[in-house]
């Protein structure tokens, strides 16, 4: 069981040191989570922080539909890609293309895409977009 052993406010982020059964691991919480707990002051999020939170929100918008609320099944991933990345990925409506993307993302082959696995897709899209900007 996780217990909060201490709390530090570091800039705009609360660093909560937790005690776990097998050791200790710090957890960083974004400012708005700290504010909800009444543990630190909230400042306006920067543009980058806002975009990062947007990526999380988009993931959750699709992951909460069926089954595990924090993973995407193939159908949920297809909906997310089709609606949110139609200009960034080719053949978003082509099922074999979606199947290939899903297989590449599902690193542990459990039939679900976790947020961490989804971030790999976001990273590839960002790298490609960045390279394309420099080609122009």
Question: pLDDT at position 115, please?
Answer: 96
- The pTM score is 0.67
**Structural domain that includes position 61:** 47-135
Answer yes or no: is 42 within a domain: no
pLDDT tens digits, one per residue of 59-90: 999 998 777 889 999 999 999 999 999 988 88
Residue 105 sits in the same domain as residue 130: yes
Q: Are residue 76 and residue 113 in the same domain, yes or no?
A: yes
d(CA 52, CA 61): 14
Q: Residue 128 is part of a domain; what is its CATH number?
A: 1.10.238.10
Q: How far apart are CA 79 and CA 66, in angstroms?
A: 12
Cα–Cα distances (Å) from 115 to 11, 67, 96, in that order, read 26, 15, 22
Which residue's structure tokens are 């957890």?
27
On the CB side of 63, CA atoms within 13 Å amount to: 18
Q: What is the pLDDT of residue 34?
A: 57
Planar angle of CA 104, 68, 110, nearest 5 degrees:
35
Q: Quote the number of domains for the chain.
A: 2
pLDDT tens per residue across span 20-40? 444 444 444 555 555 555 555
Query: In terms of domains, do 77 and 115 share one?
Result: yes
The per-residue pLDDT of the chain, averaged, comes to 77
Query: Are residues 124 and 71 both part of a single domain?
Result: yes
Q: Is 14 left (phi over 0), alpha (psi -120 to 50) or beta?
A: beta
CB atoms within 10 A of CB 76: 20
The answer on 51 and 31 residing in a single domain is no
């Amino acid at each position: 069981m996780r217990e909060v052993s201490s709390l530090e406010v570091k800039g705009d982020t609360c660093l909560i040191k937790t005690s776990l059964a097998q050791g200790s691991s710090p957890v960083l919480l974004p400012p708005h989570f700290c504010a909800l707990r009444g543990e630190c002051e909230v400042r306006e999020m920067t543009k980058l922080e806002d975009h990062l939170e947007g990526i999380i929100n988009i993931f959750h918008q699709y992951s909460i539909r069926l089954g595990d609320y924090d993973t995407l099944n193939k159908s949920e991933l297809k909906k997310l890609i089709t609606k949110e990345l139609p200009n960034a990925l080719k053949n978003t409506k082509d099922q074999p293309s979606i199947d290939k993307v899903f297989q590449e993302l599902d690193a542990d082959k459990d039939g679900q895409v976790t947020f961490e696995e989804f971030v790999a897709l976001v990273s590839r899209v960002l790298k490609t977009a960045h390279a394309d900007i420099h080609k122009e």
